[in-house]
Amino acid sequence: MAVRILIADDHKIVREGLRALIEKNEKMEVVAEAETGLDAVRLTRKLQPDVVIMDLGMPQMNGIEATREITAGNQKIKVIALSMHSDKRFVLQMLKAGASGYLLKDSAFEELITAIKTVTSNQSYLSPKITDVVLKEYLQTVSRGDASAFSVLTHREREVLQMLAEGKSTKEIAASLNVSVKTVETHRQQIMDKLKIRSVAELTKYAIREGLTSLEP
């Protein structure tokens, strides 16, 4: 079964060129073209393609916002950014919006085909130049010591957070750690203050996101 692709770019010549090249591959077909971000979202919702090739500089709704709308509506649809921008602001915002791939417009066509095959296998694909941008940003984030459960919370606070996330009561946590109920309450308050989180539900989400618990039996 052919991979169904939607091309979103405000330049007709780019869309036509991509369509012609993609359709040379018998395992891929272009089901629609969109020249605005709003059209890309509308057509994606209507046609449910497997992959959307998304330009960033789109009229009416930019490619980042369109990607966010598309991936929020159906996470199975893979978005590949195809842009002239290698600036980390564009790359990181596109990835945060849910894009599975990011290519530069000066990439060889064969790389786009590789990217389509990669994202439809539930993997991410970044052009080599983009990989370098993302890696540098990650290393800068680590060097800044950005907040994580392991840098912000003490060992005991992480223990308390995990047990809270797993649904244990204050008394159960106190008994497990061999401390008083008041001590556990103090730890919980300190955790909430440090993380600026005010509900157990949000604490649970945070604990899962940070890998402190999976909530699996």
Residue 214 lies in a domain: no
Tokens encoding 133:
């941008």
pTM of the complete model beyond 0.85: no
Q: Are residues 137 and 199 in the same domain?
A: no
* Ordered strands of the 125-126 beta sheet: 28-34, 3-8, 51-54, 78-83, 101-104, 125-126
Residues 6+ apart with CB under 8 A from 120: 3, 50, 51, 78
Measured between alpha carbons, how far is residue 91 from residues 68, 168, 213 in Å? Answer: 14, 41, 30
20 three-class SS: helix
Q: Are residues 155 and 137 in the same domain?
A: no
Domain total for the chain?
Answer: 2
Tokens encoding 156:
């005991």
Range of 168's domain? Answer: 149-209
Residue 193 lies in a domain: yes
Integer Cα distance of 125 and 76 in angstroms: 16
| Strands 101-104 vs 125-126: parallel, antiparallel or unpaired | parallel
Confidence of residue 217 (pLDDT cuts 50, 70, 90): very low
Residue 215 lies in a domain: no
Residue whose token pair is 């309450």? 185
Q: Is the pLDDT of residue 40 over 90?
A: yes
Confidence of residue 44 (pLDDT cuts 50, 70, 90): very high
Integer Cα distance of 45 and 93 in angstroms: 22
Q: Where a domain ends, among 116, 141, 166?
A: 141
Residue 83 and residue 55 in contact, taking contact as beta carbons nearer than 8 Å: yes
Give the pLDDT confidence score for residue 128 in this predicted structure: 80
Does residue 37 or residue 85 have the better pLDDT? 37
Confidence of residue 165 (pLDDT cuts 50, 70, 90): confident
Per-residue pLDDT, averaged over 41-70, amounts to: 92
Confidence of residue 171 (pLDDT cuts 50, 70, 90): very high
